[in-house]
Amino acid sequence: MVDSFYLLTILPLAISILVTTGLAAIALNSYSRTGPKIKSTIEKNFRIYAILSYSRISSWILVIVFYISLPGPILLYTISKCSSYNLLTIQSGIVASLISVTLVSFYLLCHQLLNIPAALQLSSQFRFSRLLPLWRILTPNLLLWARVLLSGLTLSATILAIYFSNFENDNFLTIYLLGFIALYLFLSIWNHNHIRILPIIECTKSKFNVIMIGVDTLRIDRLGAYAYHRKLTPNIDKICTQGVIFENCITPLARTAPSLTSLFSSLWPHNHQIRDNYPDATQTDLPADNFINILNSQGFSTAAISDWAGADFKKINFGFKELSVPQDQWNIKLLLRQGPAYLRLFLTLFTHNRFGKRFLPELYYLAGVPLTSHLGQECRDTISRLAKKEKPFLINLFTSSTHVPFGSEYPYYNLFTPKDYAGDSRFIMGDFSTPEQIVESQESTSEAHDISQIINLYDSCVKEFDDEVGKIIDHIDKCGLRENTFIVLYSDHGTDFFETECWGQGNTLVGNDPSGRIPLIISGPGVPQNVKFSHVCRSIDFMPTMLDLLGMEIPNNIDGVSLAPYINDNSNPNLYAFQETGVWMGKIPGLHPDQITYPDIIELLTIPDIKSGTMVIDEKYYPTVIQAKNRSIQNDRWKLIYIPTYHGPVYQLYDLKTDPYKNVIDLYPDILSELKPKLEDWIFNPTIQ
């Protein structure tokens, strides 16, 4: 027989050490970190940091396993006190602790598997379809009853244990158990989000608020206005009828960092200097007169809320006064802190909540894991909080809801997938768990992918995002803010599903490339309703347009123009949209056979500043990366593409109105003569224009 102290402290600690050691050994045996690979000679510089990071997450596993192992010994202690059986032995204590760890972990596994399977699959190193039999029997009600049973058993056993320990004057055990139950209740309440609705009685009519709702990788053709065969966006469609949708808005570079920077600075990428997703410290200071800094100078409260897809809002100095966003995702230190796959997989069960956001943010914000509902709640809470202040505010919500690997939460991922589907892309785009798989996927053709299922997953993500938009709009109405609030819906880029021979975004400019055309919708005071602005415009035109609508002065050192004078009568501003491709991870299908190229992402990235750990393009390759970019110019009908090859530039011309993917350059020499000088001037004379 063992005493209560040994049963409830020493044995659970021993079990937690044993479990942690086992997981760590398995993880080391098949080590796999997140993020792109870099040259081994560079990664060696971070060995000590890797060891410290490994120790840190192992310590958290130790703490968590100790905590979840306690209900078993507590129940054992209570049963022993309530009966004549002698259960307080080392063997029974070990078994009770192991059963407790197993039951809690299995419940959380089932909870994640049903509600957010993407979080599990992204850290798994086994064929995820093996979990399908378990997934098929899970239901919300089943999980609810399991939780009630486990919680009820834990709470009742602990309360009885406190009674017996107090009766026996075991003060240490009483305090110990009180601490356990207090922590249990605190975590249960703390991890449950509460959104406050604070009705506003009077609005400040002289000041306007701006609420921007953005999503990474949303194709504009999924909106209801484009007769898509699935009705995915009723809430966004309603905003379209209450304002202006810019149907032909082009981003100059369909990658997140440069696209967002152009949107908020109204500058072409060659002017703000961020031309890829890997800017260094010298490129991240934006001009003082970008959109956010201008609003700051006008007394606005400005806040940015995002998940892993919006890390650039912290990395790049946009000027937001409040930031609820993760750290730079292209940083070796962050990737090492996320740990090897098996440790990451275990911790994922416990970190999709406030606890994870506070203590293990690198796992809470794990790339690829959707946080749509979390961010929506945080946005609504921020609206309520800032609405109490006298100052006007701008809130920028940016989510990864529709970004590859196209994971969504329950029940969305199940909306369009056939019930009998059992392939690797059941919950997310398959073969997307390691950097090597991502590069291989980018280099593959359509035959290597289950395109119809990937589209099913993507549409599910669009539907979930739209529902969250509806909740935010409803909250704005309940807070009495609608009359003096501009609502902006936007994306950084769309995505290709092999319309241009490859998938992804910013890889090609061929024809009516769906990755370069973004949804942009503005609704609010003074904005005409139900306008479909069909003429070509650019994301760089957003900032001057919004400043114009807000009655603020527009800087004269920007590239964009205000569209406000044109939207009332839908007149044509006669603008040219310019684009350039992003950085290729490998050899993209469909490239010109003589295309200027450079090494793949493993050779391309380096870390010049060991202290910061930021990944950037190696300076010896950077000139080639810029030289190799395809460029384009387009207006309402025509698109001319410049392709740099080793034998000189090659041009392609597309008629966007008749056959948007057929090169017709030989048929229209006059159009070539008109557009070619303008495109070359934009390429070779990078001045503000």
pLDDT of 87 > 80? The answer is no
pLDDT of 193 > 80? The answer is no
| CA separation for the pair 160, 82 (Å, rounded) | 9
| CA separation for the pair 418, 408 (Å, rounded) | 16
Q: Counting beta carbons within 10 angstroms of the beta carbon of residue 538, is it exposed (0 to 12), middle (13 to 18) or buried (19 or more)?
A: buried
| CA separation for the pair 445, 64 (Å, rounded) | 44
State the DSSP string of 265-312: H---HHHH---SS---GGG-B--TTSHHHHHHHTT-EEEEEE-GGGTH
The pLDDT value recorded for residue 689 is: 44
pLDDT of 52 > 70? The answer is yes
The model's confidence at residue 437, banded by pLDDT at 50, 70 and 90, is low
H or E segment at 348?
helix 341-348
Looking at per-residue pLDDT, the higher value among 265 and 81 belongs to: 265
DSSP secondary structure letter of residue 659: E
Name the least confident of 256-265, 580-589, 611-620: 580-589
DSSP secondary structure letter of residue 408: -
Strand partners, 323: 304
Q: What is the pLDDT of residues 466-479, one digit of tens each?
A: 999 999 999 999 99
pLDDT of 178 > 60? The answer is yes
Q: Rounded to two decimals, what is the model's pTM?
A: 0.95
The pLDDT value recorded for residue 688 is: 44
* DSSP SS3 for 614: strand
Count how many residues are written for the chain. 689
pLDDT of 108 > 60? The answer is yes
State the DSSP string of 92-148: HHHHHHHHHHHHHHHHHHHHHHHH-HHHHHTT--S-GGGGHHHHHH--HHHHHHHHH
pLDDT of 486 > 90? The answer is yes
Q: What is the mean pLDDT of the chain?
A: 92
Q: What is the pLDDT of residues 362-398, one digit of tens each?
A: 999 999 998 999 999 999 999 999 998 889 999 999 9
| CA separation for the pair 160, 172 (Å, rounded) | 16
Looking at per-residue pLDDT, the higher value among 72 and 287 belongs to: 72
pLDDT of 482 > 50? The answer is yes
pLDDT of 340 > 60? The answer is yes
Tell me what percent of the residues of the chain surpass a pLDDT of 90.
Answer: 80
* DSSP SS3 for 522: strand
The answer to whether the beta carbons of residues 617 and 276 sit under 8 Å apart is yes
The pLDDT value recorded for residue 184 is: 92
DSSP secondary structure letter of residue 553: P
User: In terms of Cα–Cα distance, which of 431, 424, 432 is closest to 453?
Assistant: 424
Beta strands 520-523; 517-518: pairing state: unpaired
The answer to whether the beta carbons of residues 514 and 495 sit under 8 Å apart is yes
- What structural domains does the chain harbor? 4-190 (no CATH), 209-342+356-413+467-575 (3.40.720.10), 601-684 (3.30.1120)
Name the least confident of 59-63, 239-243, 562-566, 685-689: 685-689
Range 13-24 average pLDDT: 94
Tokens representing 518 are: 């973004």
Q: How many CB atoms lie within 10 A of CB 684?
A: 7
Q: What is the pLDDT of residues 119-143, one digit of tens each?
A: 999 988 778 888 999 999 999 999 9
CB-based contacts of 98, cutoff 8 Å, min separation 6: 15, 69, 72
